Amino acid sequence: MSHRSARNGFAGFEMVTETIAATDKIRCDACPVMCYIKPGAAGACDRYANHDGKLVRVDPHIILERTVEHGGQLVPFQATGDWDGKIVHQPETFVTAIGAGTTYPDYKPAPFIVSSEVDGVDMVTVVTEGIFSYCGVKVKIDTDRYLGPEQATVRAQGEAVGHVTTSEYGSQMLSLGGVHHLTGGSKKEGRITCDALMDLSNCKAVELTIDGGATVIVQAGQPPVVNRVREERMRVGCGSATIGMFAKQWHGKVDEVVVVDDHITGVLSEHQAGKLLDIADTGIKMKGRRSTPGRYFQVADPGTGWGGTNISDPLAILGPFDPKEARPGLTILMVSTTGEHACYYVLDEALRPVETAMPAALQQSVERIQENCEPALCTVLFMAGAGGSLRAGVTDNPVRLTRSVKDALTRVTSGGAPVYVWPGGGITFMVDVTQMPAGAFGYVPTPALVAPIEFTLKLSDYAALGGHMDYVRPLSSLKDSADIRPIPWGAKPGRHA
């Protein structure tokens, strides 16, 4: 069973009545304590848990933090040091900072004594702990539908957790989390932000409401649900681009085509693509602001209707046809950028468009637009910065690690997944959460998120940057250990499944 299917199983997991096994407590035989573990619970060690009646290994995030703090590695009491110095890249043997890399999402860490020495303190007792206070998620929602104005506050359970940021091609963008919402506001705001970030990062669905906008259910790798309507596809291009792509296919089958788009509505007869095909003028009059020929801005207000506008009747964006150019019997196709909305009109004697059954050839072109639209998805990138002490766990000279990452000598991964490291100071990285093993994220009540991070580099480079060379542990020594669990990394389980 792949990790992703394990994760998908969690919807059922929370409703424990689904299978007989899921209602049964199981006896853990990992150690002589022999805990009875209820479904959904962990044993006394917090290392093993009952997942759907099966015993799974779940390294507690507190151990994760401990290993992260020390560079994602625990080192042997008696090092043998027969590592050949090559970069570890075999998928089946990549060691992640998630410890066992397992599937239990709702672990609540225990308070823990941080055993690092800081400012002459030998030990630190904490009620709460954190790794990434400076973290958040960037959410890309493939939809033209209007989700809300730029800069509008995004809320989860009524609390501000982020904002609408600048949109991308065919997608609306949200920026959620960050230290301001996590720790700068009320306790409740911080807690709910933390919950929302963790759920989104663990590929769970989260309902978000946008001030002055829509309610959207976001789940990484799944289509967005905007105002209770599941989005099917993202637009193939803007209205103008759609004209350019399909002009040849419409040529000779219809006199005029309007591709309705909240951004740029395209008009075939006026568009450069139409001119090149010698398509005649039709006397059409568009509302909105003309940009260049055949391209119109602001034909309507943004909304959840045709092509991300607020209109439900496409004729609302047309003025009367010019009698000098138009003639009765002129045919017009109006279609949205995703092909989800389409109507066919014929001008009557008074040059008024009358909706008519669409000819099969045009219906095909509408279907072609739909076919060229990619499935609408929500994608969630987790973004965080690795602070000083984390880097100090890797090397005696933390800035050298930063430089080594910049020089691409050191590969940074998060739960084994590739990351993008932002240029500039520090180690600020982004990772696609769907590429990470299930349940990779935890939280601490600070509130802050707990996420895995690994640094991989050549042994010689590691030595050069002041690494803890005496404690390098050969990969082979992990093989028989209960600490590791192979993850089918190369197979990218469930990527956008």
Partner 1 sequence: MTRQPQIALLADGRRLHLQDGPIDLILEAKGREADVRAAYAAAARRFTGLLDELCAELPGLRKAADPVHCPLQGVVARRMHAAVKPFAADCFITPMAAVAGSVAEEVLGAMLAAAPLDRAYVNNGGDIALHLGRGERFTVALMDRLDRYGVMQTMVIDARDPARGIATSGRHGRSFSLGIADAVTVLARTASQADAAATIIANAVDLPGHPAVLRCAADSLQPDSDLGPRLVTREVGALSPAEIAAALDGGAVCARHWLGAGLIEAAALRLSGETIIVGTKDVQRHSNVLHELAVA
Distances (CA, A) of 252 to 224, 257, 365: 37, 12, 13
Report in angstroms how near the CB of residue 154 gets to partner 1 at its nearest. Answer: 22
Closer by beta carbon to partner 1, 53 or else 288? 53
Q: Is 25 in the site for partner 1 (CB under 8 A)?
A: yes
Minimum CB distance to partner 1 smaller for 306 or for 382: 382
Largest CA distance in the chain: 94
**Which of 120-128, 200-208, 213-221, 321-329 is the region at the interface with partner 1 (rule: CB under 8 A)?**
120-128
CB 253 within 8 A of CB 361: yes
Of residues 188 through 207, those in contact with partner 1 by CB under 8 A are: none
Q: Which is nearer to partner 1, 76 or 359 (CB)?
A: 76
Per CB under 8 A, the list member of 30, 217, 315, 464 interacting with partner 1 is 30
27 to each of 37, 46, 482, how far by Cα in Å? 6, 14, 18
Angstrom distance (rounded) from CA 463 to CA 370: 55
Query: With respect to partner 1, which residue has the nearer C-beta, 141 or 390?
Result: 390
**Shortest distance, position 107 Cβ to partner 1, whole Å:** 11
Is 122 a binding residue for partner 1 by CB under 8 A? The answer is yes
CA-CA distance, 345 to 123, in Å (whole number)?
78
Taking CB under 8 A as the criterion, which residues in 356-395 touch partner 1? 385-391, 393-394
Radius of gyration of the chain from its Cα atoms, rounded to whole angstroms: 28
Q: What residues pair up with 389 in beta bridges, in sequence order?
A: none
Q: What are phi and psi of 316, to 5 degrees?
A: -65, -20
71 lines the binding site for partner 1 (CB under 8 A): yes
Shortest approach of partner 1 to residue 381 CB, angstroms? 20
Binding segment (CB under 8 A) for partner 1, from list 121-129, 246-254, 343-351, 407-415: 121-129
DSSP state of 309: B
Q: How far apart are CA 142 and CA 172, in angstroms?
A: 6
Residue 410 contacts partner 1 per CB under 8 A:
no
Integer Cα distance of 386 and 412 in angstroms: 11
Binding mask 303-342 toward partner 1 (x if CB under 8 A, else -) reads: ----------------------------------------
Does the protein bind partner 1 through residue 17 (CB under 8 A)?
Answer: no
Q: Does 87 bind partner 1 (CB under 8 A)?
A: no
Contacting partner 1 (CB under 8 A), which of 77, 319, 360, 407? Answer: 77
Q: Binding segment for partner 1 among 116-124, 267-275, 336-344, 365-373 (CB under 8 A)?
A: 116-124
Q: Per rule CB under 8 A, is residue 35 in the interface with partner 1?
A: yes
Sheet containing 153-156: give its strands across: 229-230, 225-226, 215-218, 206-210, 153-156, 159-168, 171-177, 135-141, 378-386, 427-432, 420-421
Backbone angles phi, psi at 218, to 5 degrees: -110, 130
Report how far residue 196's alpha carbon sits from residue 420's, in angstroms, rounded to the nearest whole number: 22
What whole-number distance in Å separates Cα of residue 275 and Cα of residue 42? Answer: 69
Q: Which one of residues 22, 46, 197, 271 is an interface residue with partner 1 (CB under 8 A)? A: 46
- Which residue is associated with the tokens 């010698």? 278
Binding to partner 1 (CB under 8 A) within 226-265 occurs at: none
Choosing from 1, 15, 20, 32, the residue that interacts with partner 1 (CB under 8 A) is 32
CB of 383 to partner 1, least distance (A): 14
Return all residues near 313 (Cβ < 8 A) that are at least 6 apart.
none
Tokens of 493: 């389980």
The span from the CA of 443 to the CA of 192, in Å, is 12
CA 442 to chain centre: 17
Select from 83-91, 126-134, 168-176, 318-326 the region that touches partner 1 (CB under 8 A): 126-134
Residues 140-199 that bind partner 1 (CB under 8 A): 183
Q: Is 119 in the site for partner 1 (CB under 8 A)?
A: yes
Q: Does 435 interact with partner 1 (rule: CB under 8 A)? A: no
- Cα gap 94→475, rounded to integer Å: 9
Four-CA torsion 186, 189, 194, 199, nearest 10 degrees: 170
The verdict on 133 binding partner 1 (CB under 8 A) reads yes
Taking the least distance from each CB to partner 1, the nearer of 132 and 306 is 132
Residue 252, classified by CB atoms within 10 Å of its CB into exposed (0-12), middle (13-18) or buried (19+), is exposed
Binding span for partner 1 by CB under 8 A among 94-102, 208-216, 338-346, 463-471: 463-471
45 binds partner 1 (CB under 8 A): yes
Smallest distance, Å, CB 226 to partner 1? 33
The span from the CA of 482 to the CA of 471, in Å, is 20
Region from 151-159, 231-239, 350-358, 439-447 binding partner 1, contact rule CB under 8 A: 439-447
User: 114 or 217: whose CB is closer to partner 1?
Assistant: 114
Exactly one of 198, 448, 451, 457 binds partner 1 (CB under 8 A); that residue is: 448
Taking CB under 8 A as the rule, does residue 76 contact partner 1?
yes
Does residue 73 touch partner 1 according to CB under 8 A? yes
User: Closest separation between CB of residue 197 and partner 1, Å?
Assistant: 15
Question: Which amino acid, residue 463?
Answer: A
What is the token pair recorded at 330? 């002129």
